[in-house]
Structures are given as C-alpha cells and as structure tokens.
Amino acid sequence: MLRQYELVDRVLAYDPDADEDLLNRAYVFSMQAHGSQLRASGDPYFSHPIEVAGILTELKLDAETIATGILHDTIEDTVATPEQIEKLFGAHVARLVDGVTKLSKIEGGLTANERAAENLRKFLLAMSDDIRVLLVKLADRLHNMRTLHFIPSLEKRQRIARETMDIYAPLAERIGLYGFMDELQALAFQQLEPEGYDTVVKRLEGLRAGSGDMVARIASGIRLLLGTGGVEADVRGREKRPYSIWRKLQAHRIAFENLPDVIAFRVIVPDIAAAYRALGLIHQRWQAVPGRFKDFISTPKRNGYRSLHTTVIHSERMRIEIQIRTAEMDREAEFGLAAHWAYKAGGDTSAPARVAYPWLKDLLDAVDQAASPEEVLEHTRLAMFQDQVFAFTPKGELIQLPAGSCPVDFAYAVHTELGDTCVGAKINGRVVTLRTPLANGDQVEILRSKAQHPDPAWEGFVVSIKARAAVRRFVRQQERAELLAMGRKLYDEVVGRLKLPLSEDAVDAALGRLKLADRTALYLALARQTVGDTALLEAVLPGSTANLKPKKRGRSGPKAAISITGLTPGVAYSLADCCHPIPGDRIVGVGRAGKGIEVHSIDCAHLAEPGESEWLDLHWGDETGTGVARVSAVVHNAPGSLAALTAILAHHGANIVNLTLTDRDRAFHNFVVDMEVDDLAHLTNIVAALRATKAVVSVERVKA
Ligand code: MN
C-alpha cells in the first residue's frame, strides 16, 4: 500500500504546486473513516482507495481528482456525510465524491438489467457534470478487477467481470484510455473465459519459446533500418493482448498459427515528419499488406487517437503490425483524455471542469442535449443498450423497455392493471396516442379508465413481452366466452331434438362417455366441433344412433378416395358444397381461381350463374369411393321420429356426417342430413325407404 508521503510525492513530482495539504487531510480522513474495515483480500479496506489514488497519479491528474480517489468510498461505506466532505475538502471534491458514490450506490439489490441501466443513466449524468468522476470510477474499477480473484463467489466475480467487459472497458476505450481498456479486458476475459485465456496464454508462450527472442530481434532490425535512413526512433515490440487475440480467433474462425499480427511494434519518433519518413522506409523494406494501412494522423479517430498503422510481411510466415507515432501521441493513446488533464507546467492549474477537447466537447454536448441520449449510447458504443429505451414515471421511477415501446408497453411495465385499463397517455405533459413510440428520457403519464379493456388492436403495436402476453390473454378470454355461448346454443339445439328432459345424472354420464370434465368443456368441444351432433346424441342417450355406424366396407374410412375421369392429371378438384354430387350423378367441372376444379352435379342451381367459365365434361371413375349427399327431411314432431329416421339410415349403412335441425314448428321438424353414400343408387334406395316410413313426411335431395 502506498504510504501517505509516497502518494503526495508522486503528485508533487508532476505538479509541484499541488495542494499538498488537501492530499494529506484526505489521506488521514479516509484512513480514520474506513477504520478497521477489511477487503476480501484481508488487507485493510483503506488500501483500496489509496491504490485507486495511486492509479490516478499515473494519469498525472490534479490534486482534487487524487483526493476524490482517496475519499471515493467514504460516503458509501463509512459514516462520513456529503456535508462533512464539503466542509472539509470544498465543493469541488464533494461534488466529485458524490458523483462517484452515485455510480456505486445502486450496485446490489437490483437485477442485472436494472443495475446496468441505472448505472448507465447515472454515468451519463455524472459524466456530463464532470468527466473526472468517470476517471475515478474507472480507476476504482481497475483496482477492483486487479483484486477480483480474492472474491470467493464465482457468480459475483463473473457478474463484475461481465459488467467490466460490457460497460467499463468500452467507456475506457471511448475516452481513449487504452491502457485501462487493455487491462480491464484482460482481467475480465480471464474471469469470463478461463479456458480461452489459458489456451491463448499457453500458445503465446509456445510461440515465444519456439522463436527465441524474436520480438527483440525484429525490433532491433526495425531500429537499425530507420537509423540508417536518418530517423531516430524508439522501437518497442509487444505481443498482442490475449483478449484481442481471442476476439480475432472468435471473429475470424481461423487457427492460431494463421493468426496474423500476433506481434505488434510501436515506433516512437520525434515529430510528425519523421513518422511519415519512417513509414516510407518500412514500406520500402517490407511489402505492405493491402488494406491495412491507416493514417490516423491526418484523420484522427473521434476519440482523438492519432497514429500511423500498417501491417507488413516481415518474413515468409509472419506479418507484423507497426504503429508509428510521436511521443505525445503515444501518451495520448495510453492515457487518452487523461493526458489532457495532466498538470502542465506553467499552465492554468485551476480545476478544468470542461476541457476544450473536440470529442469530449461533442460527448458532453450530446449529454447536455439530453433529448437524445441514444446518441451518447452510440458514441460510447454500449451496444447492449441500443435496443433499450429508458422512460420515467411522473414520480421519476426509471422504466426500462425494449426500443420501439409505446405507452401501452410502459403501462404494463409499471403494473398489469394499469396496462389493462389504460386509455391514453401524456408524454412530457403532451397528450399522445397509445401507439406513440417512446424516446429515451420521456416522462410518461398513463391515463386510465376502469371501464377500459385491453384492445386486441394493441397487439399490432406493442413490443414488450409483458404487454403482448396481456393483450393475447385478454383476446383468448374473449374468444373463449364467445365459443362457450356458441357451444351452449348447439347443445340446446341438439339435445332439444331428443324431446326428453335430461337429468343432471344423464348429463354427467354423457360427459363421462365423452371423456369431458364438465359442461364448459362440452360446450367448447361442440363449438370447436371436436364433438359432433351424433356423438353428443349417442352419449346422452346411448343407442339413439347406435345403428348409424357405417358398415365396414373394407375401405379406409369415410373419406376414401374417389376417382373422376376427364380431369387433367394433377389438377386439384373438390366436390361442390352446394349440390353434393355423389357417384352416379351426372357431373361437370368448373374452374375456380385458386381452388382448382369444382365438381358439380349437372342440375346444380349454381351452374346457371352468369360469368361461369366453360364446363368440363366429367365422369366418375372406377374407384368411386363414397360421396356425401344432402337430403332435407320433414318428420312429425313426435317422440321417436328422429330415431326412426336415423334407424333407416343405419339400416342402409349410410354414415351421418352432419344433422341439423333447420326449422321446427308444433307439427313438424325439418332436418337437413348429410350422409355418406356409395353412389346415386344407394341414395335412391335410402330416400325411398325414408319416404316409406310413417314418421317421415317428406324427403328431398338438396342440390343447391
Ligand atoms: Mn471503490
């Protein structure tokens, strides 16, 4: 652990005018406040803020920021209050400590998503206030990652590593703090992909062992080349970080041996002219790999990064990456934004709240113009949040929703009942339609009415799972109510045909025979036609249709194939519903768009309709199967009439496929019966038998 004087000396080394007293008081205050608290490592807790302050001195930050590092956990983890901090260390430090505290406060107790979202929001708010808050938080996270292996819980380690990979490393990258980014990624990678990490490290070791001190040899070769060409350069070689190799292995699906650029070299030159000269010398000596040259000096990256990049073919099997930059650019690349925060001798040492640095100004502007935080997200490349939208309740509660969500999604996210009864919404005080997409930062007030129900139309525009499920559930309930009403009607009608008052026991017995749980299930089954009229009659009054079972004809079932000649092979056809042609009828075919050929009997009334296309002359083939004929029968309204009718059909082996009571008065009942018959002759016999029966008044075949 850094001692007090060591820490102060480090700051004085780069900023002789630093507020020594502030640092000393912060050190003592923090040590006393944290008292005997311990870290997971067993070290005194106090060692953590001091190490964080130490990391911040590497960035050569001002005394206020260093003091903030020392004090950053006092409000959160000790009895110290913000008022105390302000009184003792001034408003600037108090505001910074408060900013860092806000970032940490929400950890724990929330789900991963809530925590991440909340963190992000607070981050943006805190960063917009003072970017130094972010620098302290990143140093804090870096030290926590360095000591992560002391935490016993695997789950906790992985959660912290995941958060580091998803939020902190990208933020470090965004502000150009590549040194932090590299280390954060390496530590998180080790935790998240222990096997991957081991593999890459082992392979790197193998590579090193097999090639002797290859890195040093190539580096001195480059130095010699440049020196001969008149460019004084400092050449450093380094292997790529395991995590960056791992990412390349993942992204390119190639073998380790084929992975180019495992070794990278950095060439530090005195000035920009020397950088381009060095590039020329290198390209003359080794062949450049096309497409790999990038000039970030004439066109810096948005985060301010400047350098020349190229990849050359160094030897038969090896390509090496070379970065060429000045010392100043190198420092910027390592410390990013922080490089501009560093004390500059003779410069203005007053607290630089907002530095004039192009990308930072952009970022802060974007945050300031809070209308579009998604722009900030874009900048910070926190891809995990780009499919999210964050909105607020009137009370300021944060609601996280999938992007594209509307007020209905919002209402359901707050409470199911609020969703069910919402009728309108106000976004930022303005009345909007329920399908208005929400934007980040919107404050949403839901207008509700107790009389409202979920509208099936909502399903067309809600995007959240919760809202979608609620609307579907409601629609299903509605459909069920309608089905039940329909089923009840069918039941009354069918059972009414029996002309018998049914006892509860009889109904229960019928339910048992149909293997249905209760009347509701029966109504639904009738409405869905999983239980037909005859099945119900048979269940209620066994034997009433007993003889209706089709006689076994050795064919596969009621809808055996029929063959018709005169059709082009392969053309789809169907027997018309209007005239129900059966084998033996004279038939013709009519083409219907999208339906193939409809087969009608020649005397079907529908054939007379105008605009009908040409008739195809058809004939029944040999494999005639069965047809479904429709007859209309009027019977006396008397007990046993229906039974008499069905008995005849059963006797003749005609399978009833549908039986509908179409009309009834005091004297007569009119049934329409659809029955499977072999052919016209079969039907003619049945009709004759029916006409011969006393119970039957009249029978006609229905052909339209
Ligand atoms: Mn901390």
Q: Could you tell me the distance, in angstroms and rounded to a whole number, from the CA of residue 48 to the centre of ligand 1? A: 7
**Distance between CA atoms of 445 and 424, rounded to whole angstroms?**
9
pLDDT at 358: 38
Averages of pLDDT over runs of 10 residues in the chain (704 residues) are 90 88 94 89 91 90 91 88 91 86 52 48 53 85 94 90 82 75 91 86 76 80 92 85 77 60 84 93 87 85 81 79 90 66 39 36 44 41 50 72 90 91 87 84 84 84 86 81 79 75 80 87 83 81 57 38 65 78 82 74 73 71 75 86 83 83 82 87 82 82 79
Residue whose C-alpha is closest to residue 403's, from 373, 439, 367, 433: 439
**What gap in Å lies between CA 93 and CA 103, rounded to an integer?**
16
Beta-strand relationship, 596-601 and 573-575: parallel
**Integer Cα distance of 428 and 407 in angstroms:** 12
Domains 4-195 and 627-701 share a fold: no
Task: Please tell me the predicted confidence (pLDDT) of residue 340.
Answer: 52
**CA 629-630-632 angle, 5° bins:** 145
Q: Is 378 a catalytic residue?
A: no
Ligand 1 centre and the CA of 222: distance in Å?
A: 43
**Are 590 and 577 a contacting pair, CB within 8 Å?**
no
pLDDT of residue 368: 45
CB-based burial label for 520 (10 Å; 0-12, 13-18, 19+): middle
pLDDT for the residue numbered 274: 93
**Does residue 396 come out as left (phi exceeding 0), alpha (psi in the -120 to 50 range) or beta?**
left
Give the number of other CB atoms < 10 A from CB of residue 693: 16
Catalytic residue among 20, 43, 58, 77: 77
Amino acid letter for position 236:
R
What one-letter code names the amino acid at 319? Answer: R
User: How far is ligand 1, taken at its centre, from the CA of residue 38, in Å?
Assistant: 13
User: Residue 108: what pLDDT?
Assistant: 40
The pairing of beta strand 308-315 with beta strand 318-326: antiparallel
Taking each helix axis from N to C end, the angle separating 358-368 and 373-380, rounded to the nearest 10 degrees, works out to 150
Give the type of residue at 550.
P
Instruction: Let me know: does 425 contact 444? Beta carbons within 8 Å.
Output: yes
Please state which CATH number belongs to domain 212-339.
3.30.460.10
The domain segmentation of the chain, as residue ranges, is: 4-195, 212-339, 474-540, 564-620, 627-701
Q: Quick one: three-class SS letters along 118-141? A: HHHHHHHHHHHHCCHHHHHHHHHH
Structure tokens at 686: 């049945």
Distance CA(511)–CA(509), nearest Å, equals 5
Percentages helix, strand, coil for the chain, rounded to the nearest 5?
50, 15, 35
Q: Say which of 43, 58, 76, 193 is annotated catalytic.
A: 76
As a whole number of angstroms, the distance between CA 355 and CA 374 comes to 23
CA of 74 to the centre of ligand 1 (A): 9
**418, 446 in Cβ contact below 8 A?**
yes
Q: Spell out the CATH class of 4-195.
A: mainly alpha
pLDDT computed for residue 249 by the predictor:
73
Buried b (16+ CB within 10 A) or exposed e, 6-26: ebbebbeebbeebbeebbebb
- Residue 386 CA to ligand 1 centre (angstroms): 28
Of 694, 703, 698, the closest CA to residue 674 belongs to 703
Residues 6+ apart with CB under 8 A from 265: 218, 219, 222, 235, 236, 237, 238, 320, 321, 322, 323
* Helix/strand/coil for 172: helix
Distance CA 500, CA 486 (A): 22
Q: How far is the CA of 432 from the centre of ligand 1 (A)?
A: 44
Amino acid at 673: V
Task: Note whether 295 and 267 are within 8 A (CB).
Answer: no
76 is catalytic: yes
Name 326's Cβ contacts closer than 8 Å, sequence gap at least 6: 268, 269, 270, 271, 272, 274, 275
- Ligand 1 centroid–CA 49 distance in Å is 6
Alpha carbon of 351 to ligand 1 centroid (Å): 23
Q: What is the pLDDT of residue 209?
A: 72
Say what the pTM is: 0.47
107 CA from centroid of ligand 1 (Å): 12
Which protein residues have a CB closer than 5 Å to ligand 1 (ion)? Answer: 73, 140
pLDDT for the residue 141: 93
CATH code assigned to 627-701: 3.30.70.260
Q: What are the angstrom distances between the C-alpha of 683 and each of 620, 624, 630? A: 16, 14, 10
Cβ neighbours, 10 Å, residue 689: 17
**Would you say 307 and 176 are in contact if contact means Cβ atoms under 8 Å apart?**
no
Residues 681, 679: Cα–Cα separation, whole Å? 6
